[in-house]
Chains A and B, each alone.
Chain A
Amino acid sequence: MVEISIFILLVFMIIGMVFVLEMKNLLSAVVMMGAIDFGLSVIFLLLSAPDLAIVQIAVAVISLVIMIRATIHREIVETPSQESTFSSRVVMLCFLFLFFILIYPAFSLLPIFGEPIFAESASSSMKYLLEGMTQTGSPNIVTAIVLDFRAYDTLGEAIVLFTSVLGAVSVLRYRNRKKPGSST
């Protein structure tokens, strides 16, 4: 049942992605991107990852707002001159199809869906599940990992996020550069 639901949602996401790629109006494409992100959030919920689903919804909303901010009041219709030539599209599709054919055998090496490898051996996930509650006091094992066992990882994430915000602010600063020759 879960598998079928995920299958349907993934097909929806793929169709949405095709629409995004072929849509002439950029605002429609951005809204479709938001729909795909929400579909991904539902898939996370179906896969028993509620923390991730919450974060994904928040990220989807914020990125939708950012993208709409980028497209609104601008030249939002793709003109025909912006499209690639037919031959380059065909070549690229052939290349990607070949890529897919070549990596298809690798799927047989992956664990079967529904039977993860961590359950069969003494993995670190097993350790977290066994000792997470007693060692950290957090009933939620995922937050126990994020904020306790692998807190340095989260610190790095915070640094990356801070740097990207710093970069965005410094790029978008609405102050014209000083004209050359003028005193600093």
Chain B
Amino acid sequence: MIYALCIVLFLLGLYGVLVKKNLIKIIISLAMMNNAINLFFILLAYRKNGVVPILSFLQPNANLYETAVDPLPQALVLTSVVIGLGVTALMVALAIRLYYVYGTFDITKMRKLRG
């Protein structure tokens, strides 16, 4: 059920990318698709009543392999989140540049080639 909601979020992002004609909306939709995929990985890694995979004074000598959630998807998604920020920043830079050239965020008006 939770997986389905996650996919619904992804599909809403896909809908925005396919239907919207405003660059800012498209960028937000792409960021949401990225978020939905990240969330999906972390949902797959969750263990019921799982503890954080950190050894601390709160859980000394913890048998992490029996109680902790999966640390590997967390490490991979950590990378993915930061790369998502880089992608968003690059897309926004391109959008600002296009606005500077064309004076609009509307992609249907960006047809003529201009220097």
Residues of A within 8 A of B (CB): 3, 6-7, 10-11, 13-14, 17-18, 20-21, 26, 29-30, 33, 36-37, 40, 43-44, 47-52, 55-56, 59, 62-63, 66-67, 69-71, 74-75, 78-79, 81-84, 88-89, 92-93, 96, 99-100, 103-104, 107, 110-111, 113-116, 118-119, 123-126, 128-130, 132-133, 139-142, 145-146, 150, 153-154, 156-157, 160-161, 163-165, 167-169, 171-172, 177
Would you list which residues of chain B between 71 and 115 have a CB under 8 Å from chain A? 71-72, 74-79, 81-90, 92-97, 99, 103-106, 108, 115
Q: Give chain B residues whose Cβ lies under 8 Å from the Cβ of A88.
A: 19
The 8 Å CB contact of B70, one of A110, A125, A139, is A125
Q: Is the CB of A114 within 8 A of B85?
A: no
State the CA gap A96–B64 with chains docked (Å). Answer: 41
State the CA gap A38–B48 with chains docked (Å). Answer: 23
Q: Is the CB of A11 within 8 A of B5?
A: yes
Q: Give chain B residues whose Cβ lies under 8 Å from the Cβ of A43.
A: 39, 42
Query: What are 15 A-B pairs at a CB distance below 8 A?
Result: A7-B1, A21-B25, A30-B24, A49-B69, A52-B74, A55-B78, A55-B82, A59-B81, A82-B22, A100-B7, A132-B71, A142-B78, A153-B75, A157-B83, A161-B86
Residues of B in contact with A, size category = 35 or more
Q: Is the CB of A75 within 8 A of B104?
A: yes
Q: A67-B28, A145-B75, A146-B79 are in contact. Are A160 and B86 (CB under 8 A)?
A: yes
Q: Is the CB of A104 within 8 A of B44?
A: no
Q: Give chain B residues whose Cβ lies under 8 Å from the Cβ of A119.
A: 47, 70
Q: Is the CB of A21 within 8 A of B39?
A: no
Closest-by-CB residue of A relative to B18 is A92
Q: Give chain A residues whose Cβ lies under 8 Å from the Cβ of B20.
A: 21, 84
Main DSSP-derived SS at the B contact region: helix
Q: Is the CB of A26 within 8 A of B53?
A: no
The 8 Å CB contact of A177, one of B3, B9, B75, B115, is B115
Q: Is the CB of A145 within 8 A of B72?
A: yes
State the CA gap A115–B20 with chains docked (Å). Answer: 38
Q: Give chain A residues whose Cβ lies under 8 Å from the Cβ of B84.
A: 59
Q: Give chain A residues whose Cβ lies under 8 Å from the Cβ of B1.
A: 7, 113
Q: Give chain A residues whose Cβ lies under 8 Å from the Cβ of B95.
A: 70
Q: A67-B92, A82-B21, A114-B48 are in contact. Are A104 and B85 (CB under 8 A)?
A: no
State the CA gap A161–B83 with chains docked (Å). Answer: 6
State the CA gap A153–B76 with chains docked (Å). Answer: 8
Q: Give chain B residues whose Cβ lies under 8 Å from the Cβ of A21.
A: 12, 15-16, 20, 25, 29
Would you list which residues of chain B between 6 and 62 have a CB under 8 Å from chain A? 6-9, 11-16, 18-22, 24-25, 27-29, 31-32, 35, 38-39, 42-48, 50-56
